[in-house]
Amino acid sequence: MSTTLEPSARNASQALAPPPAYGVRGAVAKRVVARILRHVPVTARLSTGEVYGAGTLGHPTLLVDDPRAFFARLGQSPMIGIGESYMAGEWRPAPGTDLADLLAPFAERLTSLVKPLFYRLRHAVLPRGLNPENTVHGARKNIEAHYDLSNDLFAAFLDPSLSYSSALFPRLDPPPTLHDLEAAQLAKVDAVLDEAGVTAGSRVLEIGTGWGTLAIRAARRGAQVTTLTISKEQAALAQQRVEEAGVADRVRIELRDYRDQTGEFDAVVSVEMIEAVGEKYWPTYFSAIDRRLAPGGRVAIQAILLEHHRMVATRDTYTWMHKYIFPGGLLPSIRAIEETLASHTTMRVDRVTSMGQHYAHTLRLWRERFLANWHDVAALGFDDTFRRMWEFYLAYCEAGFRVGYLDVAQLRIARQPT
């Protein structure tokens, strides 16, 4: 299998290989799926007339329109095949079943469905060694593969703040609506700035500019902001937004890797960037922050997290998410962050604020807007395979946060007392 990543192409169908031959692996995958669905409240209806699962009224139902291709992909690589099969249109939710509702029962039971023996033997069926490393050059290529797709694409499903990370809603019952999203995103930014102690006169370093919202918000507090990105597309639009906000005299946007930054800062902030660093470079990342932090300064990061045992079990696995959405990515655990800080820095975590359910709702609203605005996205040149890829990505993540397999938290980090 090639390590060359092609999904950033707007014609995503060009990145999707045809299904392999059905063969023995396909037959085994079919038996495994039948067994799994005896323990998961999901019904699968095959175009051949076969039905797997209890078929209970109200259970999420998936329709397998091309069973041989579906099982062949699963047999070749379970962690990649399920998403590729959805991209190819070989299966779909039944009418009345939401895609995230369909995926959530699997995410909720993943630990019990996937036995420890599978993890020990997973490289017999799962490719490894394909996830690009986050060297200075590699990180730039990995970021380009996702964040440089098109600013207009992201604008089609994000709120006007262009915040591409979990929002922080004032309440989750009743479920938030699109009308609530922008205010919740700004509340998230304010919470990060508060944790880092950003006030008038603060020298702020932001690692991961996004489209400039946090930098603008910090500058409006009177801070002087240096914000780093390695995405040319994001940097260009962020600069435009900074100028339109009238804070260009207080914000410097730098196309620079965090490893190359110099200077001293009262606050260092980074929102959902650590996921792109890679385990090998966590010591480098936190050491760089430590060197840049002025005496008495504080750090605030927002991070998507896994429980430690799940991170350890999956750290070497190359998944659909790596291949098609976030090459080079790895989600840390709180324990891994704490151990890295203890071994390589003078800092420690002194507060963790979990907000996983807020991310589930954020992703739900993004997917709702993405599908509602698909006509505009298609006009940019993205094809239907890309639509299914992006829909699967958003629903897959929503399901993970909804059932607690994934979490996201704001972490306040400060120097250890001497």
Coil/strand/helix, residue 271: strand
Query: What integer pLDDT is reported at residue 4 of this predicted model?
Result: 35
> Is residue 170 a part of any domain in this protein?
yes
Residue 113: per-residue pLDDT: 64
Residue type, 65: D
CA 396 remoteness from chain centre: 10
Asked whether the predicted pLDDT for residue 119 surpasses 60, the reply is: no
pLDDT value for 168: 98
Tell me whether residue 222 is in a domain.
Answer: yes
* Residues 405 and 309 placed together within one structural domain of the fold: yes
Indicate if 67 and 175 belong to the same structural domain.
no
158 and 261 share a domain?
A: yes
What percentage of the chain exceeds 90 in pLDDT?
79
Which tokens hold the place of 410?
């704001």
Least confident of 130-144, 160-174, 363-377: 130-144
Q: What's the mean pLDDT in 205-222?
A: 98
* pLDDT of 260 strictly over 80: yes
In a domain, 6, yes or no: no
pLDDT given for residue 418 in this prediction: 64
Q: Which residue has the higher pLDDT, 150 or 133?
A: 150
Tell me: do 287 and 401 sit in the same domain.
yes
Q: In the listed set 79, 100, 124, which residue is the last one of a domain according to the structure?
A: 124
Q: How confident is the model at residue 409 (pLDDT cuts 50, 70, 90)?
A: very high
Q: Are residues 141 and 119 in the same domain?
A: no
Q: 397 catalytic, yes or no?
A: yes
The pLDDT, as a whole number, for residue 169 is 98
The residue from 100, 124, 148 where one domain ends is: 124
Looking at the structure of the chain, the number of domains it has is 2
Both 113 and 143 in one domain: the answer is no
Task: Tell the residue number behind the tokens 């006509």, with chain if given.
Answer: 375
Range of lowest pLDDT (175-184, 283-292, 315-324, 377-386):
315-324
Q: What does the pLDDT read at residue 315?
A: 86
Among the residues of 205-333, which ranges form H helices? 213-220, 232-244, 282-292, 308-314, 320-324
SS3 354: strand
Would 104 be classed as within a structural domain?
Answer: yes
Are residues 406 and 354 located together in one domain of the fold? yes
Average of pLDDT values for 249-254? 98
199 pLDDT more than 50:
yes
pLDDT > 90? residue 126: no
Q: Does residue 168 sit in the same domain as residue 43? A: no
| Residue 167 shares a structural domain with residue 43 | no
4 assigned to some structural domain:
no
DSSP letter (8 states) at residue 197: T
Average pLDDT over residues 289-295: 97
Strand 43-46, strand 51-52: pairing? antiparallel
Same-domain pairing of 236 and 214:
yes
- Which letter does DSSP use for residue 156 in this model? H
Residue 384 within a domain: yes
Query: Got the DSSP string for 63-114?
Result: EES-HHHHHHHHHH-HHHHHHHHHHTTSEEEPTT--HHHHHHHHHHTHHHHS
Q: Which domain holds residue 176?
A: 136-415
Q: Is residue 1 part of a domain?
A: no
We report the CATH number of the domain holding residue 321 as: 3.40.50.150
User: Residues 232, 211: contact at Cβ < 8 Å?
Assistant: no
pLDDT exceeds 60 at position 125: no
279 CB-near residues (< 8 Å, 6+ apart): 315, 330, 332, 336
> Of 93, 2, 15, 21, nearest to 386 (Cα)?
15
Q: Is residue 209 part of a domain?
A: yes
* Domain endpoint, select from 124, 146, 175: 124
Q: How far apart are CA 67 and CA 50, in angstroms?
A: 10
Residues 311 and 369 placed together within one structural domain of the fold: yes
Q: Which residue in the list 397, 406, 408, 413 is annotated as catalytic?
A: 397
Q: How many other C-beta atoms lie within 10 A of the C-beta of residue 239?
A: 17
Q: Residues 258, 218: one domain? A: yes
Average model confidence (pLDDT) across the chain: 91
Q: What is the mean pLDDT of residues 239-251?
A: 98
pLDDT, one tens digit per residue, over 346-378 is: 999 999 999 999 999 999 999 999 999 999 999
pLDDT digit string, tens, across residues 332-341: 999 999 999 9
